[in-house]
Amino acid sequence: MAERDMVRPSRAVTILATGLFFLWGVANNLNDVLIAHFRALFSLGDLQSGLVQSAFYLGYFCFAIPASIVMRRFGYRSAVLTGLLLFGAGALLFWPASMTLSYGFFLFALFVIASGLAFLETAANPMIAALGAPETAERRLTLAQAFNPLGSIAGVGLGLMLILSDATRSTAEQAAAVRLPYLLIAATVLGWAALIFFIRFPAVATRGSAAAERVPGAYRALLGRPRYLAGVAAQFFYVGAQVGIWSFLIRYTTAVLPTLGVRHAAWLLTASLVLFMVGRFIGAALMARMSGAKLMLAFGLIDLMLCLVAVVSGGWLGVAALVASSAFMSIMYPLIFVLALRGLGPLTKPGASMIVMAIIGGAILTALMGLISDYCGTIRAAMLVPAGCFLVIALFARAHLRDGVETAA
């Protein structure tokens, strides 16, 4: 019965598990709007505004291992519930933060949200992989991840309608603009937690792993697996590239096309996220015909070239290149996740937590992009950072092909 549950979860379980990808997409990409909003509200430079992502992804880094401990001890669903409660609590903190007009308070609220998302991503990715046959895990996770950009689009849409404005507003009005969207997020997230609490999940999602608890020095054992460590590094650079491009797309657009306001630039970010979503579905279809690593190698090289175009060209060509890069980024996160975890056996759960810790790349590399922009006096130069990231990802994919360990999805 347990095996049948693992392969064929109920429709309600599938919907609730897949919906998690939507929910954290909302939070992740609402940050891209917050960067532009806080830049105006608090008169910040690119490095200072980039601290939005630094605080956010620091939460991932700090709570990925605690999430793994909860997941190993109590199962995937318990970790998901913990994550949703923290997510909702962080969203509620935006109300007092907006009243105190404290940038530091906002950053703390984002840190709490990210701590919850660390639990969600650490648990949801391997849970989706476990809810079905192992040989189709890559396609299943890629399809589930396709709902993440739907959440991203919804997040940017919330920010576009309720937060951003090209009109002149008082400081108090700008601060108050964040309250409604984050209250809506809190209500949705806490409602989703209630549904997951009352719906029966299969045993594979609710039981702890006694075998994993008996593995001595699980994390020390992982450090002895070069292919896994390469996957962690690839995820660090991928998240840094994705977060950096999306965080500064509005900034880049208004810099190279100064006649456009922030709201028009936000629409271009929305277009980028639509391409990302479409790329996920196309990528899942292509992986039925070719290996995931081969596809990721091609897409990594394309994104490398697009970032270099954005550095050299500027104008509409540079903006178009950055927008188009999202279509080719789409498959990278789930593919790196699955390839890195392949063959880990009882080390899979702690292994998942270290990959989620690699999301700290979004904090470090986004801040680095802001530093380069401030130092060079142009946001175009900052796009050299994601260009280098995509080169690393292409090399990771090539290594899998060279070693002959990659199989078709």
How confident is the model over 63-97, as pLDDT tens digits? 988 888 888 888 888 999 999 999 999 999 999 99
- Token pair belonging to 253: 């657009």
Does 146 have pLDDT greater than 70?
yes
Task: Write down the pLDDT at residue 220.
Answer: 82
Task: Write down the pLDDT at residue 212.
Answer: 47
**Which pTM was predicted?**
0.77
* Cα–Cα distance measured from residue 296 to residue 237, given in angstroms and rounded to the nearest whole number: 14
Of the listed ranges 12-26, 85-99, 124-138, 264-278, the least confidently predicted one is 124-138
Task: Write down the pLDDT at residue 215.
Answer: 47
Does 109 have pLDDT greater than 70?
yes
Average pLDDT (372-385) is 95
Query: Can you spell out the DSSP letters for 60-79?
Result: HHHHHHHHHHHHHHH-HHHH
Task: Write down the pLDDT at residue 264.
Answer: 87
User: 3-state class of 45 per DSSP?
Assistant: coil
- Token pair belonging to 72: 């190993």
Higher-confidence residue of 81 and 39: namely: 81
How confident is the model over 195-220, as pLDDT tens digits? 999 988 877 777 766 554 444 577 78
* Cα–Cα distance measured from residue 312 to residue 100, given in angstroms and rounded to the nearest whole number: 42
- Residue 404 backbone zone (phi > 0: left; psi -120 to 50: alpha; other: beta): left
Does 59 have pLDDT greater than 50?
yes
CA angle 232, 147, 152 (to 5 degrees): 80
Number of domains in the chain: 1
Q: Is residue 266, in this structure, part of any structural domain at all? A: yes
Q: Is residue 253, in this structure, part of any structural domain at all? A: yes
Buried b (16+ CB within 10 A) or exposed e, 365-403: bbbbbbbbbbeeebbbebbbbbbebbbbbbebbbbbeee
Of the listed ranges 75-84, 151-160, 310-319, 397-406, the least confidently predicted one is 397-406
Q: Is residue 409, in this structure, part of any structural domain at all? A: no
Residues 6+ apart with CB under 8 A from 218: 212, 346, 347, 350
- Is the dihedral angle over the CA atoms 327, 409, 212, 229 positive or is it negative? negative
Does 57 have pLDDT greater than 50?
yes
Task: Write down the pLDDT at residue 17.
Answer: 87
Task: Write down the pLDDT at residue 144.
Answer: 80
Q: Is residue 408, in this structure, part of any structural domain at all? A: no
Higher-confidence residue of 116 and 206: namely: 116
* Cα–Cα distance measured from residue 336 to residue 239, given in angstroms and rounded to the nearest whole number: 11
Q: Is residue 178, in this structure, part of any structural domain at all? A: yes
CA angle 403, 300, 392 (to 5 degrees): 65
- Under 8 Å between Cβ of 38 and 106: yes
Nearest Cα to 91, choosing from 179, 194, 196?
A: 179
Q: Is residue 258, in this structure, part of any structural domain at all? A: yes
| 49 alpha carbon, distance to own chain's centre | 19
Q: Is residue 241, in this structure, part of any structural domain at all? A: yes
* DSSP symbol at 201: P
* Cα–Cα distance measured from residue 88 to residue 311, given in angstroms and rounded to the nearest whole number: 38
Task: Write down the pLDDT at residue 367.
Answer: 92
- Which residues on neighbouring strands pair with residue 108, listed in sequence order? none
Does 388 have pLDDT greater than 80?
yes
* Cα–Cα distance measured from residue 30 to residue 16, given in angstroms and rounded to the nearest whole number: 22
Task: Write down the pLDDT at residue 147.
Answer: 84
* pLDDT tier, 140 (very low <50, low <70, confident <90, very high otherwise): confident
**Environment class of 133 (CB within 10 Å of its CB; exposed 0-12, middle 13-18, buried 19+):** exposed
Average pLDDT (234-253) is 94
- Under 8 Å between Cβ of 300 and 241: no
* Cα–Cα distance measured from residue 138 to residue 122, given in angstroms and rounded to the nearest whole number: 16
Mean pLDDT computed over every residue of the chain: 86
Task: Write down the pLDDT at residue 210.
Answer: 52
Phi, psi of 314, rounded to the nearest 5 degrees: 70, -165
Average pLDDT (270-292) is 87
Higher-confidence residue of 281 and 112: namely: 112
Task: Write down the pLDDT at residue 103.
Answer: 93
Does 386 have pLDDT greater than 80?
yes
How confident is the model over 247-262, as pLDDT tens digits? 999 999 999 999 888 8
Average pLDDT (48-53) is 87
How confident is the model over 299-323, as pLDDT tens digits? 999 999 999 999 999 899 999 999 9
User: 3-state class of 170 per DSSP?
Assistant: coil
Tell me the residue type at 140: R
Average pLDDT (330-344) is 87
Higher-confidence residue of 234 and 354: namely: 234
* Cα–Cα distance measured from residue 34 to residue 55, given in angstroms and rounded to the nearest whole number: 13
Does 47 have pLDDT greater than 80?
yes
**Domain span at 170:** 2-211+218-403
Task: Write down the pLDDT at residue 8.
Answer: 61
Say which CATH number the domain at 174 has.
1.20.1250.20
Residues 6+ apart with CB under 8 A from 283: 142, 295, 299, 330, 331
Task: Write down the pLDDT at residue 401.
Answer: 84
Task: Write down the pLDDT at residue 408.
Answer: 38
* Cα–Cα distance measured from residue 214 to residue 99, given in angstroms and rounded to the nearest whole number: 49
Does 409 have pLDDT greater than 60?
no
- Under 8 Å between Cβ of 331 and 409: no
Task: Write down the pLDDT at residue 403.
Answer: 67
Query: Can you spell out the DSSP letters for 228-291?
Result: HHHHHHHHHHHHHHHHHHHHHHHHHHHHHSTTS-HHHHHHHHHHHHHHHHHHHHHHHHHTTTSB
